[in-house]
């Protein structure tokens, strides 16, 4: 069942065999990244199929008239697909056989579920000692919540993300993408590749235990350090930066822009560009500490100047001066951006649009050769 020849011999993971027992987002996201990197990924679905096939609109219609949700196609590119009912002995035997010859098994069932079918790491690794088995769950394989289901929205709330996101006086907000799922998928790929590298030294595989909550807590970065060093919760600041000023969203005559002069030199350049050299010697603004203490006054002064400019003119001048600045793009503007176009981020496979994994190699290629599989197309 595995491919005899790599999909693209120049892809970094060409020849790697990945069995995906995953659905919805975090697991399939990891599987799609591995597929883009050249792995032969076989996606196993239940007879009902991955539920995201029906998560529309919007829909994508194939040439033969089959219709699936765009959501499904956003996370299943490059894979082959089979259908298996784990309660059917023949189907179960087939999946076990695939696992016994796989390099990687990727699954996102609730903790303990696959053990009922002999598809857990302990059983599969007896027949395949080199197997790297990656489990993605809400809370991991251990701890008091290990057997609970995990959902991105819930994890965003539990992890502190929502307490940090939104306007200071407004309601806590989730992010505009399923960041807990997506980050866990990314971390899972890193963990899988680390385990594969270790297998080269030891000859043994291992179980990689990934939890949405762990991954989200791991992304708290400087905000976690704020709490760990001061014992106080970092505030919710909207578009402002806790450690840098002036840094945020500012008005222009035809909209808004992001300005991010993150050090003294860049800030002085911005004042000069805006024609406010008179503020260069103002003691309130000569240091970042002073700018933070006088944030409201400074933001008002800068906003008063930027409002006199047209967006494109100000951004062009900032670019020439080396001042970090940018537009606030809607998604259509993102894919019309000349840099995004130049980097080839938008792709199309058999008439189905997508966004490539953002890897660019000097001596390797991505394997972008097939769209998401139809349900059971390789059974």
**CATH classification at residue 258:** 3.30.1540.10
Output the pTM of the full model.
Answer: 0.93
Omega before 58 cis (within 30°)? yes
Residues of the chain under the 70 pLDDT cut: none
List the catalytic residues.
Answer: 181
Supply the pLDDT for residue 248: 92
Vertex 326 angle, CA 347 and 75, to 5°:
30
Same domain, 30 and 165: yes
Domain count for the chain? 2
Supply the pLDDT for residue 115: 95
Supply the pLDDT for residue 245: 83
Same domain, 58 and 186: yes
Q: Contact, 17 vs 2, CB < 8 A?
A: yes
**Which residues have CB under 8 Å from 318's CB, separation 6+?**
259, 270, 273, 324, 325
Domain boundaries, position 264: 248-332
Residue 377 is assigned to a structural domain of this protein: no
Same domain, 119 and 73: yes
Residue 373 is assigned to a structural domain of this protein: no
**CATH classification at residue 205:** 3.40.50.10540
Same domain, 196 and 69: yes
Q: Among candidates 267, 260, 244, 236, which has minimal Cα distance to 328?
A: 260
Length of the chain: 379
Distance CA 74, CA 29 (A): 8
Compute CA distances 16 → 23, 354, 359, whole Å. 20, 23, 18
Residue 179 is assigned to a structural domain of this protein: yes
Same domain, 75 and 151: yes
Structure tokens at 283: 């003691």
How deeply is 116 buried, as exposed, middle or buried, from its count of CB atoms within 10 A (0-12, 13-18, 19+)?
Answer: exposed
Supply the pLDDT for residue 151: 94
Residue 32 is assigned to a structural domain of this protein: yes
Q: pLDDT tens digit string along 36-53?
A: 999 999 999 999 999 999
Same domain, 253 and 181: no
Same domain, 212 and 173: yes
Residue 227 is assigned to a structural domain of this protein: no
Same domain, 50 and 146: yes
Q: pLDDT tens digit string along 249-292?
A: 999 999 999 999 989 899 999 999 999 999 888 889 888 889 99
Residue 123 is assigned to a structural domain of this protein: yes
Same domain, 166 and 125: yes
Residue 367 is assigned to a structural domain of this protein: no
Same domain, 208 and 158: yes
Supply the pLDDT for residue 286: 87
Compute CA distances 108 → 44, 54, 97, 124, whole Å. 12, 19, 19, 16
Same domain, 187 and 297: no
Same domain, 257 and 209: no
Compute CA distances 297 → 10, 243, 300, 301, 302, whole Å. 56, 16, 5, 6, 9
Other C-beta atoms closer than 10 Å to the C-beta of 335 total 14
Residue 119 is assigned to a structural domain of this protein: yes
């Amino acid at each position: 069942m595995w491919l005899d020849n790599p999909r693209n011999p120049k892809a970094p993971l060409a020849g790697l065999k990945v069995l995906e027992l995953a659905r919805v987002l975090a697991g399939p996201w990891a599987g799609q990244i591995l597929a883009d990197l050249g792995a032969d990924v076989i996606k196993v679905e239940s007879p009902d199929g991955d539920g995201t096939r029906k998560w529309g609109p919007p829909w994508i219609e194939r040439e033969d008239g089959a219709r699936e949700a765009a959501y499904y196609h956003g996370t299943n590119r490059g894979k082959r697909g089979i259908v298996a009912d784990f309660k059917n002995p023949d189907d179960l035997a087939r999946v076990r056989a695939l696992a016994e010859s796989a390099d990687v098994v990727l699954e996102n069932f609730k903790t303990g579920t696959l053990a009922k079918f002999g598809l857990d790491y302990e059983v599969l690794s007896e027949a395949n000692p080199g197997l790297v088995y990656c489990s993605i769950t809400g809370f991991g394989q251990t701890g008091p919540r290990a057997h609970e289901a995990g959902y991105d929205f819930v994890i965003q709330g539990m992890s502190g993300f929502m307490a940090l996101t939104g306007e200071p006086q407004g309601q806590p907000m989730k992010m505009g993408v399923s960041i807990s799922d997506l980050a866990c998928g990314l971390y899972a790929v890193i963990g899988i590749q680390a385990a594969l590298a270790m297998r080269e030294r030891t000859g043994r595989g291992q179980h990689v235990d990934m939890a949405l909550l762990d991954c989200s807590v791991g992304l708290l970065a400087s905000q976690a350090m704020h709490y760990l060093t001061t014992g106080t919760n970092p505030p919710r600041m909207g578009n402002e930066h806790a450690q840098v000023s002036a840094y945020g969203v500012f008005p222009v005559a035809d909209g808004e822009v992001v300005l991010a002069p993150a050090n003294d030199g860049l800030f002085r350049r911005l004042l000069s560009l805006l024609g406010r050299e008179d503020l260069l010697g103002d003691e309130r603004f000569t240091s970042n500490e002073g700018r933070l203490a006088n944030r409201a006054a400074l933001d008002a002064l800068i906003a008063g100047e930027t409002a006199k400019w047209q967006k494109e003119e100000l951004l062009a001048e900032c670019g020439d001066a080396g001042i970090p600045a940018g537009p606030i793009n809607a998604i259509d503007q993102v894919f019309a951006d000349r840099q995004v176009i130049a980097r080839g981020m938008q792709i199309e496979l058999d008439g189905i649009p997508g966004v490539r994994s953002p890897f660019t190699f000097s001596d390797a290629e991505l394997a972008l050769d097939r769209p998401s599989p139809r349900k059971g197309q390789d059974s």
